[in-house]
RNA sequence: GCCUCAAUAGCUCAGACGGUUAGAGCGACGGACUGUUAAUCCGCAGGUCGUAGGUUCGAUUCCUACUUGAGGCGCCA
């Protein structure tokens, strides 16, 4: 007998009267005194459940069927029939239902059939995917990842597996986690008593990467259009709804490109992702619109059909200075934008995701290309309402002398980054790229406000359970 | 890392100038009813009031520390 997913059956993979076998987890059971029970079955393949009708003629009806509770696993075989009830088109009239696994102690089962807060569900991260909310977010996450690859592959990009373990500690993106085989109580030491990393596994100090960008730039200088896509790590003690210690980033890098090319790539990619999610996850998105944020669908449609707002940092400062609003942090040209400024800009003043370009070089990374004015760099951030920065990118400084000068100004090690500097010595070319925060993007798409709820097992300070 | 708030049943919450048996809703369980679908109705069980100290005749309630959680800020994606 053929096996089918709930999604396939609901999409009409088989005609009525055909017999199928279907397995999954029970979302709910309702009994009728007419002598039958209705089982809503989910196998995760789609948002909707499949209704299985179990008559009391089944041999295990009283022994098993009426003992089924939420999230028992079952295997059912039966005929596809048009539904007599109103909630669905088809259902399975079961010939046989086998309970594969009962739920012990349904009275204290953590994911009981009731509303739960996301905070509570985080404490049972291994079980929370059995809720509509987390399952829907998981399916959307998958679509986002798939459509990122889809877009980039269709546009001639190569996926580069940049290393997770790095020895570069000056990427400028925050604190790093150490990678070591040393016994932390008795690390190897040199004659002077300092920790001697020469004796460690890699013979030098190593870390978990905070970004694949520097490495992917090397591949960009031969393959033209490349991207990294994987987990990255920040050891910052960040306690917010938008930071994780382990998170995912997509970092495309394009050669012979300027800031507009970079911005166009970012906006095209985002539009493709949004379209893809609306097409492939319409039921999941309807659920978010109903229970999380009623605007989630309309705002994606708006972006798909419109264009992103784009302003320079200098223009942003002008708007902020003229704003009829008191900010905690005073505004003047040269400040880094604080959350409240970013919020006001994209949430109140502009009301949609906004690209801000050409920031002062003083608070931006060393590798960003300096503009003609000598004060700003060719950077661009995309700010999303409610989330903040989802994209951070720039044109890279391809001029050897300029890059070295900037590194010296910032006291960065030329020796450690010799290979990065080499890229500017041997056939250097203008290039640009950005990092797109996958997790923040999923927050924006789903309307789920906390980044800890859209990744399967979130890692953040004091939390690496499961 | 800083600031603010919180911790009472499986979950979400209420509660008490410090004083006998700490309440509700949801869930679970039992029953009634029904081709049901967040079903509905009735009933029942369920609590070391986060941990450790302190004040007090007496603390779940007041105080201190700690732990954990939430939100805001910073760092950023």
Cβ of A396 near strand B (distance < 7 A): no
Q: pLDDT-derived band of residue A168, with 50, 70 and 90 as boundaries? A: confident
Q: Write down the pLDDT at residue A172.
A: 61
Report pLDDT digits (tens) over A328-385: 899 999 999 999 999 999 989 998 899 999 999 999 999 999 999 999 999 999 998 8
- My answer on whether A349 and A423 are in the same domain is yes
Q: Write down the pLDDT at residue A306.
A: 86
Any domain includes A296: yes
CB atoms within 10 A of CB A127: 15
Q: Write down the pLDDT at residue A377.
A: 96
Cβ of A35 near strand B (distance < 7 A): no
Nucleic strand B contacts from chain A, 142-181, CB < 7 Å = 172-174
Question: Is the pLDDT reported for residue A136 higher than 80?
Answer: yes
- My answer on whether A86 and A141 are in the same domain is no
Range of the domain at A59: 6-101
- My answer on whether A265 and A343 are in the same domain is yes
Give A115 CA → B12 C1' in Å: 9
CATH code of the domain in which A12 resides: 2.40.50.140
Q: What is the mean pLDDT of residues A119-146?
A: 95
Q: Write down the pLDDT at residue A170.
A: 62
Q: What is the mean pLDDT of residues A272-285?
A: 96
Nucleic strand B contacts from chain A, 347-386, CB < 7 Å = 363
**Best CA proximity match to A458, nearest among A101, A25, A123:** A123
- My answer on whether A302 and A160 are in the same domain is yes
Cβ of A62 near strand B (distance < 7 A): no
List all nucleotides in chain B with at least one atom under 7 A from a protein Cβ. 1-3, 10-13, 26-29, 33-39, 45, 67-77
Q: Write down the pLDDT at residue A307.
A: 84
**Best CA proximity match to A167, nearest among A425, A431, A420, A369:** A420
C-alpha to C-alpha distances, A315 to A174, A308, A347, A405, nearest whole angstrom: 28, 16, 16, 28
Please, which residues have CB within 8 angstroms of residue A121's CB and are 6 or more apart in sequence? A111, A128, A131, A133, A134, A453
Report pLDDT digits (tens) over A399-423: 999 999 999 998 888 988 999 999 9
Nucleic strand B contacts from chain A, 278-307, CB < 7 Å = none
Residue found under tokens 């509770």 = A69
How many domains does one find in chain A?
A: 2
Q: Write down the pLDDT at residue A18.
A: 92
Question: Is the pLDDT reported for residue A143 higher than 80?
Answer: yes
Nucleic strand B contacts from chain A, 70-129, CB < 7 Å = 70, 83-88, 91, 93, 106-108, 110, 112-117, 119-120, 122
Nucleic strand B contacts from chain A, 218-257, CB < 7 Å = 234, 236-245, 247, 249
Q: What size, in residues, is chain A?
A: 466
CATH code of the domain in which A436 resides: 3.30.930.10
Element (H or E) spanning A265, and its range?
helix A259-280
Report pLDDT digits (tens) over A101-116: 999 889 889 999 998 9
Any domain includes A353: yes
Protein residue minimizing CA–C1' distance to B73: A339
- My answer on whether A449 and A402 are in the same domain is yes
Is the CB of residue A37 less than 8 Å from the CB of residue A29?
yes
Nucleotide nearest to A36 (CA to C1'): B35
- My answer on whether A77 and A145 are in the same domain is no
Q: What mean pLDDT value characterizes chain A?
A: 93
Q: Write down the pLDDT at residue A326.
A: 85
Q: What is the mean pLDDT of residues A285-313?
A: 92
Protein residue minimizing CA–C1' distance to B70: A119
pLDDT over 90 percentage in chain A: 80
Report pLDDT digits (tens) over A223-239: 999 999 999 999 999 99
Cβ of A424 near strand B (distance < 7 A): no
DSSP A333-401: TTPPPPHHHHHIIIIIIS-S-EEEE--BGGGS-TTBPBPTTSSBB-EEEEEETTTEEEEEEEEE---HH
In angstroms, rounded to a whole number, what is the distance separating the alpha carbons of residues A81 and A53? 10
């Amino acid at each position: 007998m053929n096996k089918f997913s709930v999604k396939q059956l609901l999409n009409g993979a088989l005609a009525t009267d055909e017999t199928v076998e279907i397995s999954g987890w029970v979302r709910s059971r309702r009994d009728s005194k007419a002598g039958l029970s209705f089982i809503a079955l989910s196998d995760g393949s789609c948002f909707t459940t499949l209704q299985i009708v179990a008559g009391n003629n089944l041999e295990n009806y009283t022994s098993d069927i009426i003992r089924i509770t939420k999230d028992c696993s079952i295997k059912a075989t039966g005929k596809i029939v048009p539904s007599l009830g109103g909630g669905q088109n088809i259902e399975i009239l079961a010939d046989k239902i086998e309970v594969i696994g009962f739920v012990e102690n349904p009275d204290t089962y953590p994911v009981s059939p009731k509303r739960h807060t996301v905070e509570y569900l985080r404490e049972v991260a291994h079980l929370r995917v059995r809720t509509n909310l987390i399952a829907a977010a998981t399916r959307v996450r998958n679509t986002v990842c798939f459509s990122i690859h889809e877009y980039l592959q269709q546009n001639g990009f190569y996926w580069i597996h940049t290393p997770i373990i790095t020895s570069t500690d000056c990427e400028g993106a925050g604190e790093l986690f150490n990678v070591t085989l040393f016994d932390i109580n008795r690390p190897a030491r040199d004659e002077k008593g300092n920790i001697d990393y020469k004796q460690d596994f890699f013979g030098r100090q190593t870390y978990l990467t905070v970004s694949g960008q520097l490495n992917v730039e090397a591949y960009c200088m031969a393959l033209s259009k490349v991207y990294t896509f994987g987990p990255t790590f920040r050891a910052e003690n960040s306690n917010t709804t938008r930071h994780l210690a382990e998170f995912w980033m997509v970092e495309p890098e394009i050669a012979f490109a300027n800031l507009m090319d970079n911005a166009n790539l970012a906006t095209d990619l985002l539009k493709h992702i949004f379209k893809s999610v609306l097409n492939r996850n319409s039921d999941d998105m309807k659920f978010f619109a109903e229970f999380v944020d009623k605007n989630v669908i309309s705002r994606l449609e708006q972006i798909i059909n419109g264009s992103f707002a784009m302003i320079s940092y200098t223009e942003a400062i002008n708007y902020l200075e003229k704003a009829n609003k008191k900010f905690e942090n005073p505004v003047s040209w040269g400040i880094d934008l604080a959350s409240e400024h970013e919020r006001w800009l994209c949430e109140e003043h502009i009301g949609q995701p906004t690209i801000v370009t050409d920031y002062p070089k003083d608070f931006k990374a060393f590798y960003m290309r300096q503009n003609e004015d000598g004060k700003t760099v060719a950077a661009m951030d995309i700010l999303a309402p409610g989330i903040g920065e989802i994209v951070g990118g720039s044109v890279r400084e391809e001029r050897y002398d300029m890059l070295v000068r900037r590194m010296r100004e910032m006291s960065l090690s030329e020796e450690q980054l010799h290979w990065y500097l080499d890229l500017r010595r041997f056939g250097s070319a203008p290039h640009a790229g950005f990092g797109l925060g996958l997790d923040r993007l999923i927050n924006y798409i789903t309307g789920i406000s906390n980044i800890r709820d859209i990744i399967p097992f979130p890692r953040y300070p004091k939390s690496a359970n499961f």
